[in-house]
Chains A and B, each alone.
Chain A
Amino acid sequence: MWASASFVGVLIIIGLPLWWKTTEVYRVTLPYDQISAFDQLPRTISTDLKILANDEATASELAALIEVAFEDSNTIKPKIHKAVLSDELHHALESVADEHDAVDEVAAAYNLTAHNCFYVVQRRPLFQQVWLAGERVMFFRDSEDAPIVVEALQKWVYQMSVLDGGRADNAADSARRTRLPPSAGYHVVLSVVHPTPDKLKVNFDAKEAVEDYIGSFVDELSILHNFTLKSQWLYLLNFDFQAREMKDNSDSGRHYSVRRDRLHRLLTALEERAATHVAALPTVNLAMYLVPCRMAPLVIYHDVAKPVLAPVQAFMSPKWGGVVLASPEEVDCTPQAVWHPNTRLIMGTFLAQLRPLLGIPDTAFISGAFLEPLRSVSPRRWELDALLRLRTLEQITTAQRTLQSLAQLLGEISNIVINDEVGASINSAVENIQKASVLAAEGDIIAAYETSKRAYLAAETAFMDPSLLALLYFPDDQKYAIYIPLFLPIMFPVVLSLKNLLLWFRGKPVHKDKTD
């Protein structure tokens, strides 16, 4: 019996655990409980909203209305502070004629530079019911306009639908489909495409254009991302637009039409030459196609007979970039002429394309409310705040979802290795997600953004690490093919002897007394 027990001892008690340990896939212990508990983290972002009215009643009424409107939101929670305007400021607001001077008056009394803090101020001598410009101040006339104030807050200032879209699980809204995924930085590359360098002389300083226009725009966004500005010229990239000559009433009496559904092929042709893939960071491509003289001016057509009526012919590809088709005038096509493209107009178009690509959505129309059109290249201050909130939320959500999918994959596929480095990035991602959620709920938006960015980057690094796949292609059936011939015949007698061994341990006779 001792012999039997020693077989069992060697094979089952020592051998099996040893085999198990040596063939185990290396995995660092991961905080699965914390990953599955992400849903219990605070999900909202707090923001300060100050209501300044002429009297207590108006302020309270507006505050109550706003509170009701934002009650159901699970993304944003305004912390409303109401106050009555001081007599001095009240007087000043009533007396100044221009709205911008009124903004200056508010700025003198309150700090308008703080991120994530917005002011709704009453101002009686207002032509519109609600007025909003680039600063973090919105004016309204009186308490009757409260519903419009609420709508403007929801649609413009807090961009509720876009923010909800950043959180949504699968159905991506159009803003999300357009903007580039979050990243620590972006390359913005202006490609000037010149198909006929021998026939058309062009004077265009790509470097100056990109640094002047794009540079001053992205400088305002430097709090969010690092931007690298680049430009290149691509010559002799001939693209067959299948342009058709159309008669019109212009001086030349004709223009050329290109069908809208033809344009995506231009992107393919550009992608071949533009070297978008060599950069370390995601690239925003801005392509300026200098239309050859033989098909200028080129107009994009929705279908056979419906031209796009715009001063600049341009189109945008979501998550890729924008293209402007710049057509020379007839005088520029004479042999001696040198064409100076309208830099202001073209770069303005690129800026308009860059805004949704970087996450600033277009504003909807609200009747009764006036939104001052953009005068300079820089984005509005409250748009910047909205972008900060959106990116924070998006980064937290994406990081959470990445980790959850990784946890699910680890459960489903048993031979994924998690080495110490990947384990460290997962742990740091989890930690930063928790921190960022708390910071966002407290309303410290800058810190929340930075933390969420770290979480997002750590989660992506962990998920994309090539070491995860090291053992993925070693199939299970091969392991069994090797182990079965050894283990099955050996374990059979050993396992069968267990019964006798158990009886012997309990002190029962192993063999039945057959003598009688």
Chain B
Amino acid sequence: MAVLLIIFMTAVFGAFGDDFIEEIFIKPLPPTHLYSYFQFITLINNNDSFVHSNLSPRSIGEVISRFKVEELHLTLTEGQWRHNQWGYPVVDAAPGAELYAWFDPEVEDIDAEWRKLSATLSGLFCASLNFIDSFNTITPQMALWPTGPVKSNVNVTSLLRYASLPREIVCTENLTPWKKLLPCESSRGFSALLNSRMIHNTNYHSIGVHVRKVCASEDCTETKLEIKQTVALVYDYKIIGSNNWSFIKLFGHGLPGACPLATTSTIYIDITSNVTFPFQLSPPPDKIVSSHRGGSVTNLAVYNIETDVEMINVGVKHNSKEKLGVNVPPPLHFNRYVLGYGKEFGGIVTELINNYWTAIDVVVLENAPWWLPIQLSSLRINSEAESKLVKSQYYSPGRSRQKPYHLELLLTLPPRSTTTITIDFEFVFLKWQEYPPDANHGFYIGSAIVTANLPTAKNYTSIPVSGISYNSTFNASQPWYPAVFRTNGAMVSLPTPDFSMPYNVICLACTVVALAFGPLHNICTKELLLKPIGTPLSLTQKVLNFFKRKKE
């Protein structure tokens, strides 16, 4: 009966050409964390849906069509994904706000459209994306590639713009407009779980909107538009209170059934770690899938959720007390920090650690703001100025208040090695209006982007480029696994003046000038005249003499 209902629903809503898929992927990150990833995918079959929308959010369609955007990725993130402890997320995101988009080749002035796009998205998501301007926008040359199909004769790189705002603080006011883009809003379906009180009580949370084109036919002559909204959360068992989690503990309440508009509503729980940390799932899953991908095996418990069901509370109970496990880091992980002391020179270090037994090719993108000038001459890889590891290099120097510094390196990381990239910078004095409020807090440097073609799927959870829903990861072995990671951000403290100083200086200098000016004026303009003795006294002199005598 339920299956029939789903087929019928598909028939009714399929008539509009839109599909809606909602999925949750939950993966324990032993021993102390739990990763839960939501994705809500709207597939738009005909291009008319920009104007006449059904399941797709009209506001996104309006933005995409007005600014002629081919592909768009926006993430708003709070916290730091720890790759060496947690492995790889499905979609990685830089801390703060990150926006990048490819424009249509027909757009004449991409920079102007980019600014308008960021200003519009800023209003749509209540984020400070309106601070994106030419001084913090770069065009990555090697690190980012479109995930949708592109025409082979188009130079996509020149159509790309990338900006990140590491200072941006993400909170409920960003989540509420994000939820309004979903066809079921937050009243039904998986989005009902996204209770802002609970999801901001996590170690890491990231919301995102990803718009791209996907192939509608085999030969890709026709495309559809995919709008994917994602939420990634990392819970800490310490915050939940125990390692036995359930929907009620994680989200505050159970799942009230699937969204009635969804074609499929599925929950995937990674139970691979059940071997080392045994636990029981309740209620029992509909089926268990074992996925062999690039030599590693993942076991997933799958729940197909229907519309009219009672509250579902999926949970896990561990058999034994907490155990300590040995953390095995993923094949590639990285670390980033700032060097130096004093207020004159400093350096950024990016460490890339390859644990795997073959070499890995990576692209590292360093994006330094204009007030942190990095010099290419100071670039050292493993303390060598000329390194054989660098296969290709792109450097675009910044310009004060106009353009950020942008360095991209294509490196081959040798097997089982740590590669250190060091680049020095100078500190710059800002104009007094350019300091942010609370300037002594420090200045954020955005994350570096690390793009890698991983030779193994160990810890790899991303969806293949050609795939749409999460089940496309099942047994999806490929020669290599493309991944785009963000390193952690960093903070520097720029020379910060005492902000009341200019006024004090003005007042003091003015007083000194005024005091000096009086005598100077007198000396220059007054003449000294001899006064003969015995002349009759004037009235004022008589008065003065009177007072003088009194004193004596």
Binding site for B on A (CB under 8 A): 1, 3-4, 7, 189, 197-198, 201, 206-207, 210, 228-233, 235-238, 272-273, 275, 277-280, 338, 481-482, 485-486, 488-490, 493-494, 497, 511, 514-516
Contacts and interface: CB of A to CB of B under 8 A. Distances in A.
B388 interface: no
A272 B522 contact: no
Contact of A515 (B123, B518, B532): B532
Interface string B73-106: 0000000000000000000000000000000000
B51 interface: yes
A275 B514 contact: no
Interface in B496-552: 503, 506-507, 510-511, 513-515, 517-518, 521-522, 524-525, 529, 531-532, 535-536, 538
Interface residues of B, number: 48
B514 A515 contact: no
A511 B51 contact: no
A232 B54 contact: yes
Contacts of B59: 275, 278
B188 A493 contact: no
A3 B524 CA distance: 6
B57 to A, nearest CB: 7
Contacts of A511: 529
Counting from the closest, the 10 A-B pairs by CB-CB distance are: A489-B514, A198-B260, A275-B59, A486-B510, A485-B510, A207-B52, A4-B525, A3-B524, A278-B59, A232-B58
Given A233-B55, A278-B120, A489-B518, A482 B62 contact: no
A201 B185 CA distance: 20
B313 interface: no
Contact of A201 (B12, B16, B503, B507): B12
Contacts of B124: 278
Contacts of A7: 521, 524-525
Interface string B24-40: 00000000000000000
A141 to B, nearest CB: 50
A278 B503 CA distance: 44
A230 B514 contact: no
Nearest to B59: A275
A514 B535 CA distance: 8
A280 B66 contact: yes
Contacts of B518: 489, 493
A355 B58 CA distance: 25
Given A7-B524, A489-B515, A489-B517, A233 B535 contact: no
A197 B536 CA distance: 113
Nearest to A336: B8
B513 A486 contact: yes
Given A189-B58, A238-B187, A482-B510, 10 more contacts: A231-B52, A232-B58, A235-B55, A273-B185, A275-B57, A275-B62, A485-B511, A497-B525, A514-B531, A514-B538
B308 interface: yes
Given A7-B525, A198-B307, A279-B62, A486 B260 contact: no
Contacts of B522: 493
B63 interface: yes
Contacts of B307: 198
Contacts of B532: 515
Contact of A206 (B52, B55, B188): B52
Nearest to B46: A207
Nearest to A490: B517
B183 interface: yes
A233 B54 contact: yes
B48 interface: yes
The residue among A206, A236, A272, A486 with the most chain B CB atoms within 10 A of its own CB is A236
B97 to A, nearest CB: 19
Contacts of A515: 532, 535
A233 B260 contact: no
Contacts of B531: 514
A280 B188 CA distance: 31
A230 B52 contact: yes
A285 to B, nearest CB: 12
A198 B51 contact: no
A492 B242 CA distance: 78
Nearest to A5: B525
A485 B529 contact: no
The residue among B124, B510, B511, B513 with the most chain A CB atoms within 10 A of its own CB is B510
Contacts of A197: 260-261
B470 to A, nearest CB: 23
B123 A275 contact: no
Contacts of B66: 280
Contacts of B510: 482, 485-486
Given A275-B58, A489-B518, A515-B535, A229 B51 contact: yes
A370 to B, nearest CB: 40
B301 interface: no
Contacts of A232: 52-54, 58
A486 B514 contact: yes
A273 B180 contact: yes
29 contacts: A4-B525, A7-B521, A7-B525, A189-B58, A197-B260, A198-B9, A198-B307, A231-B52, A232-B53, A232-B54, A235-B260, A235-B261, A236-B183, A238-B187, A275-B57, A275-B58, A277-B123, A278-B120, A482-B510, A485-B511, A486-B513, A489-B517, A493-B517, A493-B518, A497-B521, A497-B525, A514-B538, A516-B535, A516-B536
